[in-house]
Structure 1
Amino acid sequence: MEDYYKQANTEEKDVFQQYINKYILFYGTTLTLTTAITFAGCLIVPLIRSRRFPLEIEYPFRVDYQPITAMLYFHQVLGMYQVTCQVSANVFLALLIWYTTARFEILTNKFRTVIKYSDWKTCIQEHQRFPLSVKIQYIIVCLTSLIKVFLCAWPADHLMRISSNVAEAAYDSLWYNQNIESQKIMLHTLLQCQRAVVISVPGLLKALTFQQYTSV
């Protein structure tokens, strides 16, 4: 990307600058807010919950004296900040997509101003030989993101299948040998257990399962 931008002419740089000016506020605000919320949480949580550190961690040694307290506090804050920085990986994927979009817009502008056959042929060749480096970066980021989702989809799918077996296991028990009151409680439990536990995001993800994962 850097090499292409350095070799780009004024019109091509203007296209890139238009995209930067249009979306820098949104992405800059998002990264700033996530970082600010993380540090705010580090400061507020200990005050609200009356504890020394932002995270509730047990250490195999005393932590109620300096400089151990300060060192551990800084260590936890740094760890939370590193987790927050994972947002940058998603922003990098967005950067690759916006860069690709800008390249296609530049190519579109070239097609519209083509006069000679040689220029038209050059545009076609440029369309066919899209930078391999960008494709590789995009594939790597996508694979990394898919692996992260898979690590969550696997236990979520297993949770759904195991939780659906509870009703069957309860029905196979000797509930019918109990008194009427116990049988009513068991029937109520069976009704409750018929619905499997499903992890979902309303309006975004219907169910986090292997089937949903492979259909995306």
Structure 2
Amino acid sequence: MSLFGLFIGPVMLDQPLPTAAEFPFDASHQPLRAITYIHQIIVGLFISAHLCVNAFMALLLWLTSARFKLLTEEFRTITNIYNLAKCIEKHQKLIKYAEDVTLTVRPFAMVTVLFTTVALITFGLVFIAKVPLSLKIQCVLLSSCALLEVFMYAWPAEHLIHVSTNVAQAAFETDWYAKSEYLRKNLQMVILRSQKPILVTLPCGLPSLSLRYYASYLSTIFSYFTTMRMMFEEKEFG
């Protein structure tokens, strides 16, 4: 709705286009104005669609975490062998489901991290340049939104790591010593498998998504910004 409010801005306000931009041609006359207007609308729709996809991927990770949480509670309320066998079967299916979800999320998370990095570097160049204060404020707001996009993946991925490993503790707290040897072996497999967390690993050799990765990502972005600022100052005063 914010995007559509931006689209109708030229109709309600005294501005020619939805967003303030400079072009190498005169966009105040037709048909260039209409073409530029349509182009900005298409770009805005692509951006909003990408944001919706990111939200959907994050919800998939949260849903997977919720299913692990429910399974953990089921392990802690087991009263008979039948319920234990049913929980073991659910755990095997849930691991397969979590692997499918992580494979689905990986390319979208990779694209988000890549384009967010490019956008933050661009915003950093604009911020250290001699531009109006209003444009710098816009860059700060857009940079915050870009960082929130990465955090949208890192937070549920971190939560998934913890809840997927908590199943081992819940399985160990059951009355495994009073069960048959067959169920004890299966329960042992559940505990061993739960010690390996479900990770959302990024392609191209990048580390898995987590809050630790998000902290290192922030550190890297600020390092890039500091380096660009030093280079800009040396070029200006050198």
What TM-score do the two structures reach when normalised by structure 1? 0.44
What TM-score do the two structures reach when normalised by structure 2? 0.41
Higher relative contact order, chain-length normalized (CA < 8 Å, sep 6+): 2
